[in-house]
């Protein structure tokens, strides 16, 4: 429709008055054959219109819509989406999951622990020597072993204490002191550590 209206305006603006005539006895236009120069001008005008349309410079009227388009819900951006990993990591532990309580100690185990601590306040012991001493006091092997292992004792330090106590009362060679510590129940490594600790 755009080109039709434009073509008609061009035609009616450039056509001489002699071309278009309206007889008095008729109610419609009567077109006569145009001249060659007029047809050339029409061809130039059409070419100009086609060039304008191809260049995209023809302004078309805006299309008015009388119906509202359905609204589209905005798509959440990745930044606004909640981080499920963080939510899971920050969620508290389920209610009811508590650490298992430590098993209750028997009266024999408690007393064996107290006796072992009392002996260690006054003198040094090897692991086997302390177990033997608790058994001598009347504790069972299980109670004595449990008490000694429960205290998590540094046996290298105990070997150094025993080595020093021997040297306070007598003289020993390096090998003689090591042999004495082995006799007390220390391992070879523990005995050598104790001898080195006192200066041998």
SS3 183: helix
- Residue 130 CA to residue 162 CA, distance in Å, equals 12
Q: Which of 21-30, 51-60, 74-83, 110-119 has the highest mean pLDDT?
A: 110-119
pLDDT of the residue at 175: 96
Residue identified by tokens 């028997």 is 106
Cα 12 to Cα 21: distance, rounded to the nearest angstrom? 12
Query: Which tokens belong to 89?
Result: 């990591």
Which stretches of the chain are DSSP H helices? 2-14, 36-55, 84-90, 107-122, 127-136, 141-150, 155-169, 174-183, 188-197
Residue 30 has what DSSP assignment? E
Alpha carbon distance 92, 143 (integer Å): 41
pTM: 0.50
Supply the pLDDT for residue 28.
47
- Name the β-bridge partners of 30: 21
Residue-wise pLDDT for 44-90, tens only, equals 665 555 556 555 544 444 444 444 444 555 555 555 555 555 545 55
From the list 84, 92, 69, 165, the residue with the least C-alpha distance to 124 is 165
Can you tell me whether residue 21 is helix, strand or coil? strand
Higher pLDDT, 156 or 16: 156
């Amino acid at each position: 429709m755009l080109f039709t209206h434009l073509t008609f305006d061009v035609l009616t603006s450039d056509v001489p008055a002699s071309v278009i005539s309206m007889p008095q006895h008729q109610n419609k236009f009567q077109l006569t054959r145009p001249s060659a120069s007029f047809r050339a001008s029409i061809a130039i005008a059409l070419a100009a219109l086609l060039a304008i349309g191809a260049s995209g410079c023809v302004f078309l009227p805006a299309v008015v819509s009388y119906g509202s388009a359905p609204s589209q819900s905005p798509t959440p951006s990745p930044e606004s989406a909640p981080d499920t990993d963080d939510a899971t990591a920050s969620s508290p532990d389920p209610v009811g999951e508590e650490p298992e309580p430590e098993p209750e100690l028997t009266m024999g185990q408690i007393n064996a622990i107290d006796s072992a601590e009392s002996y260690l306040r006054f003198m040094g012991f090897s692991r086997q020597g302390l177990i033997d001493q608790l058994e001598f006091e009347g504790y069972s092997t299980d109670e004595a072993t449990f008490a000694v292992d429960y205290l998590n004792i540094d046996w290298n330090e105990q070997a150094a204490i025993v080595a020093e106590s021997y040297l306070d009362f007598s003289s020993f060679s390096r090998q003689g002191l090591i042999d004495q510590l082995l006799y007390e129940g220390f391992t070879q490594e523990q005995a050598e550590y104790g001898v080195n600790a006192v200066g041998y």
